[in-house]
């Protein structure tokens, strides 16, 4: 689950993705210029119906994050696509990264690189009610202004 991470940590998430954002995320992201610092490598769907997206530094290939996505299925059209879990390198050169920080970093990074859309109120409420691990953001309005996609994790 953790690729080449030395000290991986995982947590449930439950974040709903819009169909438009899932389409952007599922194709991944490759570096085309030296200035491109991140890669998003997408695995094939596994037997449990989950797709893992590895978020790596482009120059080194070191995996920093992995998000585990359960796409909407034809058999369950009312169930949205969700990031069901996150795995992250918890020790970045001696700095311990918390679950909350890892989720915020992935959201900011992904939103910026893939130009995610705003989350509808219904999607935000679905994320809030379905999340098995909640993250309280004291600076919710600042994060929302910055991210757009996160109203509640």
- This prediction's pTM: 0.70
CA distance 38 to 101: 18
pLDDT at 151 over 60: no
Instruction: Determine what percent of the chain falls in helix, strand and coil, rounding each to the nearest 5.
Output: 25, 30, 40
Query: Could you tell me if 40 and 54 are in contact, meaning their C-beta atoms sit under 8 angstroms apart?
Result: yes
**Residue 42: what pLDDT?**
87
**Residue 7: what pLDDT?**
93
Give tens-digit pLDDT for 55-87. Answer: 988 778 789 999 999 998 877 777 899 999 999
């Amino acid at each position: 689950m953790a690729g080449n991470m030395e000290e991986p940590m995982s947590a449930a998430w439950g974040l709903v993705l819009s169909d438009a954002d899932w389409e952007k995320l599922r194709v991944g992201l490759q570096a085309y210029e030296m200035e491109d610092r991140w890669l998003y490598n997408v695995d094939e769907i596994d037997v449990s119906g989950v797709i893992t997206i590895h978020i790596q530094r482009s120059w080194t290939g070191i995996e920093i994050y992995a998000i585990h996505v359960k796409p909407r299925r034809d058999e369950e059209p009312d169930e949205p696509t969700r990031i069901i879990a996150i795995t992250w390198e918890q020790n970045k050169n001696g700095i311990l990264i918390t679950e909350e920080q890892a989720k915020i970093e992935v959201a900011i990074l992904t939103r910026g690189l893939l130009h995610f859309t705003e989350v509808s109120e219904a999607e935000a409420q679905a994320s809030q009610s379905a999340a098995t691990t909640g993250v309280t953001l004291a600076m919710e309005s600042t994060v929302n202004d910055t991210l757009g996609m996160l109203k509640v994790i």
